Structures are given as C-alpha cells and as structure tokens.
C-alpha cells in the first residue's frame, strides 16, 4: 500500500512539473518576441527577410532558462557587441541522457560552484543588459521550480555516485593489474641486479659471511650479550658454522651449497642481537678498538710482506742452486781441450755485433743468449761476452759448452781475471769492501738502517753490478757494445742498434719519464748542493737493461773518470742510495741518446698491468723488479714469454727438478 501511494505521489509531482515548465516556456517565448524579435522585424528589413522562426517541436523545448546565480554566466563565452546577433541555443537536461553522458555531465558540473542548478538547466546564451533587467520575474519562478524538484535531484545524484563508484572500481582493477606488472618487472630487475653484482663481485657472499663473523665477535664481547647465556650459546654455535662454511673460500663458487642458509640464519640471529643492545657507546668503543687493532695488524703484515718479498728475491731457488753445482762438477771432469770455445778469433772483430752480459745466473743468461739468437736475422755476426763471478764461472762455461749457440760466438770470462779492477783503481770496489758497507748489509742493528729494504739487497755488493762502467777497459778493441741485463728476453732482431747514430752521445737508452717515479728527483738527493747545482730534478730518467754504448765517444769524453769522481763524492751515500742507475744518470747526464720506446719495454717484474700490445711490439722485454720469471713470485701471465726459451726437457734441468 505504501509503495502504491509513493508511486502516485511521484506521478503527481512529475505532471505538475511538466505543467509548470510549459507555462514558463510560453511566458519566456512571449518575452523573447517582445524584447528581441519585434525590434528586429520593425527596423531591419534585411534581417527580417533572412530570419525564419523555428517551428519544430524540438526547438520549442529548447527555451532559455537563467540560473539563480548570475555569476555562472562569467564562465561562459560572451559575444562581443560588434558581432551579429544569433539565435540563442539552449541545452536542457532530460531523463533520456544515457548513463555515460550522465557521468560526464556530473563530472563537469562538479567543477562549478553550484552543480545542482546546472544539472537541470544548462544555459549557453548571449543577451544584452536590457534583457537581464526584464527577466527578473522569470528568475524567481525558476528558483521556485528548482526548490520543488530537490528530491528528484538527490535521486539523480545517487545514480551518478553509483556510476562514479563503478568507474572507480574499474580504475582500481586496472591499477592493480598495472601494479602487478610493475612488481614483476621490479622483481626481474632486482634479480638481474643481483646476478650482475655477483658477476662483478665473485666474492660478495664470502665477504658478507666474514662481516657477519666480525659483527658476531663484537656482540659476544658486549655486556648485554654476556648476560643472556642462551643467546650467547646460540651465537657461538652460528659462528662455528660460518667458520666451517668459509674455511679457505676466496670466492662464492668455493662455498658449499648450504652457505646461503647459514648466512640467513646468522643474519636473523644478529638482528636479534642488535635489538638486545642498549648501550651504543660501549659498542662504538669496541668497534674503534677493533679498527685500531686491525690497522696495526695490517701495518705489521705489510712490513712482513715487504721483507719476505725482498728475501724471496734474494734467495736462490733450490733448483737454480743445484744447476751450477751439477755443471761445475761436470766442467772439471773435462780435459783442457774440451773446455775451450770455438771461433775465438771473432772476439775482437769490431765489424761484428758484440753483446756484453754480466751474470751469475746460468739459466737467466741462457735465456738471453737463446732468445737473441732465435730472433736474429744474422746470428753468425753475434758475439756474446759473458762475465761471471768465481763461483759460477765453471758452471757458465759448462752450460754453453753443452749447449753451443750455433753459428754465433760466445766468450765466458771470470771477473777475477781482471787484475786491473782493484780497490786502488775503482772507488766503488773500495767502498764495497769497507767496514761501514758490510755493517750496513749484515749488521743492520748497528748501522743506520734504511727504511727501504730494496736498498739493502746484497746484490749491490757484487762488483758484477758495477762492471757496466768499465766497458772500454773490458773491450779495448771494440767500437760499439750492446749491454743486456740477464733478466731480459729478446723478441726481435737487434741488428739496427749497431748502425744507430747516437749523435755524439755515449749511451743509447729508452727514457722512462712517462712515470713520475722515473725522474731524477726520485733517485738523487737534491738537498745536497753537489746534486742541486748540476742536475735538473725533473729531467727524464732512462733505463738500464738494454743499452747501446759508443766506446769511442766513451774514451774521448773520459766517462770512466767522471764516474769515479762522483763515486768518491758519494762515499757516505749522501748523494744517492746504492745501485747503478743513480750513478748512471749522473755519469751519462747530457750524454744519452733517447731510443724508440719499442726497443725496450720494462716493468714485467713488478707491474701486472703492462699492455699486452706493448709486450708484443717490444724488441726487448725487461723483468726488472723482484718478481723474476724464474722465481715462484714471478707474475704468471708474463712467465710464458721467458719460459719458451728454456728447454725443460734438458737432462740437467730434470736432474735439478727445474720445471715450468
């Protein structure tokens, strides 16, 4: 019964609204005719002839309705006074508009101050000020009509809200789908980043486990942890598990399969331990103490590493100690005629290519000779002059008697045979035999020790190292001599060096000033006036190892006396430390001709970053530094360039267990 009554009431309201609207329409049309159309018909014939009033039913419905608040007209575009007056066009909201249009109208209406009024009457019109004053009564009627239909407005708003909710649900669903896609992309990106990180850092998990051990030890030393026996016991158990997982692992691939589970378990336990800590100051103190202790241990280990590296460089491997002993024994079993080398008449021929090599290392000297002959275009012109010490003289001769250099000529001499080389003639020989020098090397606790251990290498005590300053005395009949160190490998033909014009200089060498530590100020003491007055601290250094010397110019410029003069001034080691390069830089100052860098590439005994392209292009590669290729500490990637000139199947090498 209530439903029937409500339906009857609603129907009555609808009919009454329609009647009211029809009356309002007739009134408005009459007003429009009086105020607008009549003046036009009376005073404008042309406009009257062109204007045809609308008779369609639809245009009768499209009548003007003004809103209650005239401020809304400001939002609408107004025609200027200069434009031709047009027929007003109105759009009235009807119930036949579909739901989608209803939603759109509602959204637009919400942007205006009073959307409710515009929902029932949208006005798009252009009138003059006189029309406004004559329609005040109509506005009042419209207000009354609007108030009567407020309930219907609320009903329509409810349907609009339902449509908005449906649209919002659709948007949320679409957003959820997009969000799901984004989550999948983020997960994929995260996984990719993890894989990239693991590729870039193959020991990332190992480092994380070690960090966990450090953090665990810190927690175990804190009072809050000690007061919790259960947590302490569990943490110690986890520490032991992580230690067993790590063992000797250096990269993630060395870890067992359960390493990740142990890592997560430790992480969870450490997070629990973190929540237990209430005294941050104590933890900070503990971490600082650990940091200080670690830094001190690092300093000690660095010092030990430097000492052990120097010791390894000085120590002869067991196999290389065995080899000269074995060769010496065999040499003295030969008769005198078997101990001689052929082609000795070529030793003083200045037209041949003479090479000086001063060494006490049989295997290293063998590589120099073998590599030079192998890569020479004219091996028959090569003459090798090897000088060794008393201990290795017989072994050196025996090696080259058993392994003759083919068509090349070889000479092996004993430095003890140079009777002219004595302490009265050579200042350096006198200094090397002095008590202060012996104390410096063998009784470091008594002498003023040097912080740089490389200057304490006993090789500097060997006169073989200084024999390069006496080339004219050793080879009085020769004009040019190529000097080679025993830690080099020849990779290309060196014939061009003997025909090189040194432009009046004595020494031909490759400059090394591309690096800062190869300047003069890195070798000489410029605080001493003898040095600062005569040399440029930023002058380019050069390298020993492969040098072509013009012995004629050497004699003419009296280079040996220059060397002796400076050596005497350095009797207390105040001008430079020990070694042969500093006195070489001084002796050949402004007497050195720079060679093309491809002749001589250095650094293979200390620098693991030498370009492979430079090595391949080099005529000579030099293993200067402590990491010699015949030592275990040699840089592995450079060892093959040296080892390919060693015959490891040789009987003597097998007997001494010398392997690649």
The CATH number assigned to the domain holding 323 equals 3.90.550.10
pLDDT at residue 286, rounded to an integer:
75
- Please report which confidence band the pLDDT of residue 50 belongs to, taking 50, 70 and 90 as the band edges: very low
Q: Is residue 571 included in any domain, yes or no?
A: yes
Q: Is residue 611 included in any domain, yes or no?
A: yes
Whether the Cβ atoms of residue 394 and residue 331 lie closer than 8 Å to each other: yes
The pTM for the full model equals: 0.59
User: In this structure, are 360 and 234 located in the same domain?
Assistant: no
Task: Give the domain extent around 642.
Answer: 318-447+462-656
Query: DSSP states of 586-600 as a string?
Result: HHTTT-EEEPPGGGE
3-state secondary structure of 63: coil
Beta strand residue intervals within 592-648, DSSP E: 592-594, 600-601, 620-622
- Please report which confidence band the pLDDT of residue 252 belongs to, taking 50, 70 and 90 as the band edges: confident
Mean pLDDT estimate for the chain? 76
The radius of gyration of the chain from alpha carbons, rounded to an integer in Å, stands at: 51
Q: What is the pLDDT of residues 432-467, one digit of tens each?
A: 777 776 666 655 544 444 555 555 565 666 789 899
Largest CA distance in the chain: 153
User: In this structure, are 385 and 422 located in the same domain?
Assistant: yes
pLDDT at residue 242, rounded to an integer:
87
Q: Determine the average pLDDT of the residues in 47-62.
A: 44
Q: Which of 64, 71, 118 is nearest to 90 (CA)?
A: 64
Least confident of 221-225, 423-427, 655-659: 221-225
Q: How many domains does one find in the chain?
A: 2
Q: Is residue 239 included in any domain, yes or no?
A: yes
* Residue 642 buriedness (CB in 10 A; 0-12 / 13-18 / 19+): buried
Q: Determine the average pLDDT of the residues in 218-243.
A: 85
Return the higher-pLDDT residue of 101 and 280.
280
Q: Give the burial string for 178-208 (b: 16+ CB within 10 Å, else e).
A: eeeeeeeeeeeeeeeeeeeeeeeeebebbee
Whether the Cβ atoms of residue 206 and residue 251 lie closer than 8 Å to each other: yes
Domain boundary among 258, 285, 312: 312
Q: Determine the average pLDDT of the residues in 72-95.
A: 44
pLDDT of 565 over the 70 cut: yes
Q: Give the burial string for 601-626 (b: 16+ CB within 10 Å, else e).
A: bbbbbeeeebeeeebeebbbbbbbbb
User: In this structure, are 259 and 354 located in the same domain?
Assistant: no
User: In this structure, are 348 and 438 located in the same domain?
Assistant: yes
User: In this structure, are 466 and 567 located in the same domain?
Assistant: yes
User: In this structure, are 527 and 588 located in the same domain?
Assistant: yes
Domain boundary among 312, 345, 362: 312
CA 418, CA 414: separation in Å to the nearest integer?
8
Q: Is residue 11 included in any domain, yes or no?
A: no
- Please report which confidence band the pLDDT of residue 216 belongs to, taking 50, 70 and 90 as the band edges: confident
pLDDT at residue 571, rounded to an integer:
85
User: In this structure, are 325 and 220 located in the same domain?
Assistant: no
pLDDT at residue 85, rounded to an integer:
46
- Please report which confidence band the pLDDT of residue 33 belongs to, taking 50, 70 and 90 as the band edges: low
Q: What is the pLDDT of residues 277-299, one digit of tens each?
A: 777 777 777 778 878 888 888 88
User: In this structure, are 644 and 537 located in the same domain?
Assistant: yes
Q: Is residue 38 included in any domain, yes or no?
A: no
Domain boundary among 296, 312, 328: 312
Helix/strand/coil percentages in the chain, nearest 5 = 60, 10, 35
Residue 327: its H or E element: helix 318-331
User: In this structure, are 276 and 340 located in the same domain?
Assistant: no
pLDDT of 118 over the 70 cut: no
Give the list of residues 6+ apart from residue 481 with CB closer than 8 angstroms, or none. 354, 355, 356, 385, 471, 475, 548, 549, 551
- Please report which confidence band the pLDDT of residue 384 belongs to, taking 50, 70 and 90 as the band edges: very high
* Residue 563 buriedness (CB in 10 A; 0-12 / 13-18 / 19+): buried
- Please report which confidence band the pLDDT of residue 550 belongs to, taking 50, 70 and 90 as the band edges: very high
| β pairing state of 507-509 and 546-550 | antiparallel
User: What is the percentage of the chain residues whose pLDDT exceeds 90?
Assistant: 40
User: In this structure, are 283 and 329 located in the same domain?
Assistant: no
- Please report which confidence band the pLDDT of residue 477 belongs to, taking 50, 70 and 90 as the band edges: very high
Q: Is residue 187 included in any domain, yes or no?
A: no
Whether the Cβ atoms of residue 54 and residue 100 lie closer than 8 Å to each other: no
Give the list of residues 6+ apart from residue 69 with CB closer than 8 angstroms, or none. 113, 114, 117
Half-sphere exposure of 599 (CA within 13 A, CB side): 23
Q: Is residue 270 included in any domain, yes or no?
A: yes
Give the list of residues 6+ apart from residue 103 with CB closer than 8 angstroms, or none. 160, 163, 164, 167
User: In this structure, are 481 and 515 located in the same domain?
Assistant: yes
pLDDT of 271 over the 60 cut: yes
Q: Is residue 170 included in any domain, yes or no?
A: no
Q: What is the pLDDT of residues 315-362, one digit of tens each?
A: 778 899 999 999 999 999 999 899 999 999 999 999 999 999 999 999
pLDDT of 75 over the 70 cut: no
User: In this structure, are 344 and 267 located in the same domain?
Assistant: no
Half-sphere exposure of 277 (CA within 13 A, CB side): 20
- Please report which confidence band the pLDDT of residue 71 belongs to, taking 50, 70 and 90 as the band edges: very low
């Amino acid at each position: 019964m209530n439903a029937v009554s409500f339906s009857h009431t609603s129907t009555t309201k609808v009919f009454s609204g329609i009647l009211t609207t029809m009356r309002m329409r007739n009134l408005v049309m009459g007003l429009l005719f009086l105020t607008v159309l009549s003046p036009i018909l009376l005073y404008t014939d042309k406009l009257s002839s062109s204007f045809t009033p609308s008779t369609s039913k639809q245009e009768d419905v499209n009548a003007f309705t003004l809103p209650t608040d005239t401020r809304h007209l400001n939002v609408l575009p107004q025609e200027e006074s200069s434009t031709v007056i047009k027929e007003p066009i109105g759009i009235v909201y009807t119930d036949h508009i579909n739901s989608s249009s209803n939603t759109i109208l509602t959204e637009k209406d919400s942007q205006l101050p009073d959307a409710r009024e515009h929902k029932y009457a949208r006005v798009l019109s252009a009138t003059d000020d006189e029309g406004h004053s004559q329609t005040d009564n109509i506005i009042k009627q419209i207000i009354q009509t609007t108030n009567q239909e407020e309930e219907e407005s609320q009903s329509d708003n409810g349907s609009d809200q339902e449509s908005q909710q449906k649209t919002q649900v659709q948007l949320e669903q679409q957003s959820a789908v997009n969000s799901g896609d984004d989550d999948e992309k983020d997960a994929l990106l995260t996984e990719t980043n993890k894989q990239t990180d693991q590729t870039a850092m193959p020991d990332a998990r190992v480092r994380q486990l070690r960090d966990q051990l450090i953090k665990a030890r810190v927690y175990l030393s804190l009072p809050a942890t000690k007061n919790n026996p259960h947590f302490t016991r569990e943490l110690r158990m986890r520490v032991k598990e992580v230690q067993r997982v790590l063992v000797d692992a250096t990269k993630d691939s060395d870890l067992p399969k359960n390493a990740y589970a142990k890592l997560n378990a430790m992480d969870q336990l450490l997070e629990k331990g973190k929540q237990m800590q209430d005294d941050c100051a104590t933890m900070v103190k503990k971490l600082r103490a650990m940091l200080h202790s670690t830094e001190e241990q690092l300093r000690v280990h660095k010092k030990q590493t430097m000492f052990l590296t120097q010791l390894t460089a000085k120590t002869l491997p067991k196999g290389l100690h065995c080899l000269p002993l074995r060769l010496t024994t065999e040499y003295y079993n030969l008769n005198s005629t078997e101990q001689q080398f052929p082609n000795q008449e070529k030793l003083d021929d200045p037209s041949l290519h003479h090479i000086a090599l001063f060494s006490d290392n049989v295997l290293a000297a063998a590589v120099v000779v073998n590599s030079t002959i192998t890569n020479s275009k004219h091996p028959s012109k090569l003459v090798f002059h090897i000088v060794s010490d008393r201990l290795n003289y017989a072994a050196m001769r025996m090696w080259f008697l058993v392994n003759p250099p083919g068509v090349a000529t070889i000479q092996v001499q004993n430095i003890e045979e140079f009777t002219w080389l004595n302490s009265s003639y050579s200042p350096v020989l006198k200094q090397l035999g002095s008590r202060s020098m012996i104390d410096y090397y063998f009784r470091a606790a008594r002498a003023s020790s040097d912080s740089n251990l490389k200057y304490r290498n006993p090789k500097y005590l060997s006169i073989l190292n200084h024999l390069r300053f006496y080339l004219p005395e050793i080879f009085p009949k020769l004009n040019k001599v190529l000097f080679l160190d025993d830690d080099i490998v020849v990779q290309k033909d060196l014939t061009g060096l003997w025909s090189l014009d040194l432009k009046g200089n004595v020494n031909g060498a490759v400059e090394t000033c591309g690096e800062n530590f190869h300047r003069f100020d890195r070798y000489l003491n410029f605080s001493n006036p003898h040095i600062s007055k005569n040399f440029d601290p930023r002058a380019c250094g050069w390298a020993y190892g492969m040098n072509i010397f013009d012995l004629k110019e050497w004699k003419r410029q009296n280079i040996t006396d220059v060397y002796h003069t400076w050596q005497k001034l350095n009797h207390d080691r105040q001008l430079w430390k020990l070694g042969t390069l500093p006195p070489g830089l001084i002796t050949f100052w402004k007497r050195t001709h720079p060679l093309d860098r491809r002749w001589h590439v250095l650094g293979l005994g200390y620098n693991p970053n030498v370009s492979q392209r430079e090595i391949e292009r080099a005529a000579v590669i030099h293993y200067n530094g402590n990491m010699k290729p015949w030592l275990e500490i040699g840089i592995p990637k450079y060892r093959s360039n040296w080892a390919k000139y060693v015959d490891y199947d040789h009987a003597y090498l097998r007997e001494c267990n010398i392997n690649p």
